[in-house]
Amino acid sequence: MGSNLWDALAAASGSVALAFIVALVLGICANAVLFFGSAVVVLERFARGARRWSSAVLVTLAFAGLLGALGTDEESVEALGIPWPGAGYAWLGTSAVALLLLCLAQAGTALLLRLVPARALALATVIGLGAGYALLVGGFDQFGYALAPVVVTGAVALALRWRRRRNGVVGAGFDERLAATLAAVLALGVVLPLVLDEPALPVGSAGATLLMLFFALVVLGLLPRAAAGFVDAQGSAEWFIARRYLFAKRRQTFISVITGICVAGVAAGVWLIITVLSVMNGFERVWREEIIGNRAHLTIHSMEPIEDYRGLLDKLSALSDVEGASPYLDAEGMVRGQGGSIMGVRVHGIDPTRIGTVTDLRADLLPGSEHALENLRPRAASDGSARAPGPSGSDGARAAGPSGASDTGISPRSEAQPSGDRDNDDAAGIVIGSQLAAAAGVGVGDTLVLISPFGGPPTPLGPGPRLARFRVAGVFQSSFFQYDEVFTYVDLAAAQEFRRSGDVADGIEVRTRDYYRSQRVGAQIEELIGFPYFTRDWKEFFPSFFQALKTERVMMFVLLTMIMVVAAFAIVVTLIMMIMEKSADIAILKAMGATDAAIERIFAIEGTLIGLLGTLLGVVAGIAVTTQLGWVQEQIEGITGIDTLPAAIYQFSTLPWQIDVGQIGIVVAIAMVLALGATLLPSRHGARLDPAEALRYE
């Protein structure tokens, strides 16, 4: 009975949690649509006020310069297949293209604003957006996503109709007609999945194209022209009144306090988002550099072991974009620690003379292991008493194995000899990670036995394990625990003997002059060496890791944006309170001949100034705090006495950071969309105020 009740409660809680998540997502989408649509309406009002060509020119040039900064991201430019020309030339080229697009978009926007009335333009916009969304979701057979907005907009239209009839109004208002039209257009997305037998890519692509064109027209055409109209509003009566309202008199101190809270809320949201995203960018940069340092920029593989790897190295050396290349051979093995525990390791055979040109292994060697790569070959061989195995060595030099030990095994005590036993000059060297060295209890000069589960002497139970003795030539420490615990490096000839593969390589590691161009260089290499060779660049080795970082960054961005959403609702409340307080002033202005559009502009300017001030303070604070994170961390550690980032755990003692101009631009855009969208409803409420009613009790 109790278990059944518990199962029922668990199922109910799961359903409630799912419903809450769905409601949260729908709420976020509804708020996004509400604020974006309101912001577009406010931008249209400002754009119609643009008069001076000088303001339009200055704003267009400023927007072109800001958009040009988006082209200074080397990774994004290289991903498009465009050779990186340098930051300066990239900015100039992107700015020139942006300037051309801005001029074309603003010309089209100005023509629309001049020829089409505001209500007709709003109706056409609603039809275009609705059709684009309906084609997108309907073409891809997303019935649920198509039905939800139809239900919502239909409910809004019915609610407006019910309110109209309750007030005794006969004709439908513009808002009601707009909602009904949008619901009818969105219904197309519900019909398409029922008519089409399977998802239609052309239909969905047409909808996506329509939405992208609208968004581009808003960003490149309407937004710059609205900014020019906002600049032209300076010196007007609306600007003067809005500025005076921001600094209320003594009896209206409460409204001034609320206005300050709105500014602080917007600034805090912008500041936190910039700082958090910059820190996450810094972590991603650090991990990317560490991964690239421990691995080559790209690797060359084949369907079978590569025999002519020396010839491939000669071909690669002729490429100008290749900085270094080194063959490698991988093998799997095990080592036994002092406590008898068995640990699996990855044996990476390398060319000691070339590995420094493709990875940062030499820089990761700990003190006392500086010459470990030169000591990978047996000391006896380096003294001339035996032939040193290497990439050019023959199989005859490896008849006794890399250690000279037989395949029958050795005693357990010889698996990790103390450093005092130096009778291992005939053993090949091995470089191990710091974590593996601590777990196995060995250090530089000690003997380490690798165990291969295959190739040993036959036993009644099958082939026995094969043992090979190595000398610990050095210890490395990277920033990745997994590397230090698993990876070991030996000479290529020793790896070939351990795996008994012959004089072959599994692949060739390549370092390019610019790791952002690794994919393009890989294509050049494939074209040069042909089939059956293929390449893999560094992005393909850890795709889930970098995707997880991006997902975390997006989630943090969405969560922190809620701070700005709360501040936007505070702007709505502040403006409504301001309108209630200034109702007599509004009535007098309307009695003196002020139009509804002028009243709307007053409060739209006020809300925009609140958003601009908060956004400016947030950007300055975010950049200042981000660049001084080291000092902030020192003060926190000095006050609390806690080491916030132990170097032994995180491999760095201060928070890394990297400011992304594109991300700052997105944050600023979202903050201004919320601020502009928050001004529409209060400003329309103030514009519809009846002067007689407002002055009745004055």
Task: State the average pLDDT over residues 307-318.
Answer: 88
**Per-residue pLDDT, 333:** 87
**Per-residue pLDDT, 620:** 93
Distance of CA 71 to the CA centre of its chain: 16
Cα distance between residue 176 and residue 628, in whole Å: 53
pTM of the model: 0.74
Task: State the average pLDDT over residues 186-190.
Answer: 88
Residue 398 has pLDDT above 60, yes or no: no
Task: State the average pLDDT over residues 442-455.
Answer: 81
| 136 closest CA partner among 76, 72, 203 | 203
Peptide bond into 532 cis (omega under 30): yes
Mean pLDDT of the chain: 80
Cα distance between residue 177 and residue 181, in whole Å: 6
- Assign 652 a pLDDT band (cuts: 50, 70, 90): low
Q: Kindly state the tokens that stand for 563.
A: 């701070």
Q: Kindly state the tokens that stand for 235.
A: 């010196």
| 101 closest CA partner among 59, 40, 60 | 60
- pLDDT per position as a tens digit, 594-630: 888 888 888 888 888 888 999 999 999 999 999 888 8
For residues 640 and 633, the answer to whether their CB atoms sit within 8 Å is: no
**If you average pLDDT over each of 73-82, 88-97, 202-211, 330-339, which comes out highest?**
202-211
Residue for token digits 């009535």? 587
Region of poorest pLDDT, from 129-143, 164-178, 226-240? 164-178
Region of poorest pLDDT, from 279-283, 284-288, 501-505, 611-615? 284-288
SS3 (DSSP) at 55? helix
